[in-house]
Amino acid sequence: MFPTLPFFGLQIPTYGLLILLGIALALLYASLRHQALASAAPESLSITGEDLLFSASFALIAGFLGAKILFLFTLTGAEYSVLWQHFDWQTATLLLREGFVLYGGIIGGILGVALYARIFLLPVFELLAAFVPAVLLAQATGRLGCYLNGCCYGLAADPPLGVHFVSHVHTDATYLPLQLIEAAAVLVLAAALHLYTNRPRSPRRVVAFYLLGYPSLRFFLEFWRGDEERGLMGPLSLSQWFSLALFVAGLLLQAKTRPRLTYSSGTL
């Protein structure tokens, strides 16, 4: 694995680098889709390109906080004790750089967009739909970062399916590269959402598609996770409980949405 990359004497964390790349790709995709819709059907838009950019800023800040808060929630009492007993500037820097939970970022990002929409009196679901499936591109790229970082790996598996993660040399096992499997599956879901939004759709249905699609994928992939850091609550992992909650939210959103065609991301 390559947890860091040398750059003029510095060691750049590959996970953070891939996260930044994913965010850039997501913003580029969302911007191009918005421009396509603005050219094809400007009367259907209630948001501007500036709204897209500024709401993304709200989402990134809230997403960062959400991912970090949920990570801290997964720590055990003993881990909290070690963290605070040895807390210094180096620990604070490491905590800012590492330790994120994806669902915390997703929920935080949704709340950030909702806050922006409330402040500026914009339709929240139209804003959220504008970032779908862009957010999936960021998620897939982030999983590549997980693979290079050596975290979020799968169950123990023999080669050629199993991969030896350098950051886990304290064991002799090789693990299923579940990060790559999830990245590929998320890209397929992103392609499906891209095709889905090429026709006029209600923004609520677009958001519901994501809430039904990704949590379903993540729920089943979690059974093949081999790392212990993901946090367990009873028979399921923390991410599986969040997957169930978001899936139910998607069902309710789908059920309450009128079957009328009001939104399209434009053809890109």
18-65 pLDDT, tens digit per residue, is 999 999 999 999 999 988 888 877 777 789 989 999 999 999 999 999
177 versus 229: which is more confidently predicted? 177
268 versus 103: which is more confidently predicted? 103
Average of per-residue pLDDT across 75-86: 60
135 versus 37: which is more confidently predicted? 135
Kindly list the distances between the CA atom of residue 34 and the CA atoms of 37, 102, 166, 189, in Å, as whole numbers in the listed order: 5, 25, 42, 20
Contact 113, 55 (CB under 8 A): yes
Task: Please list, residue by residue across 4-42, b when 16 or more beta carbons sit within 10 angstroms of its beta carbon and e when fewer do.
Answer: beeeeeeeebbbbbbbebbbeebbebbbebbebbeeeee
Name every residue whose Cβ is closer than 8 Å to that of residue 112 and which is 6 or more positions away in sequence. Answer: 55, 58, 59, 60, 61, 62, 63
Give dist(CA 179, CA 185) in Å, integer: 10
Beta bridge partners of 13: 4
DSSP assignment string, 240-265:
HHHHHHHHHHHHHHHHHS-S------
Contact 25, 56 (CB under 8 A): no
8 versus 48: which is more confidently predicted? 48
- Largest Cα span, the chain: 61
- Residue 83 binned pLDDT confidence (cut-offs 50, 70, 90): low
DSSP assignment string, 51-93:
HHHHHHHHHHHHHHHHHHHHHHHH--HHHHHHHHHT-SHHHHH
Q: What is the pTM of this model?
A: 0.86
SS3 of 13, please? strand
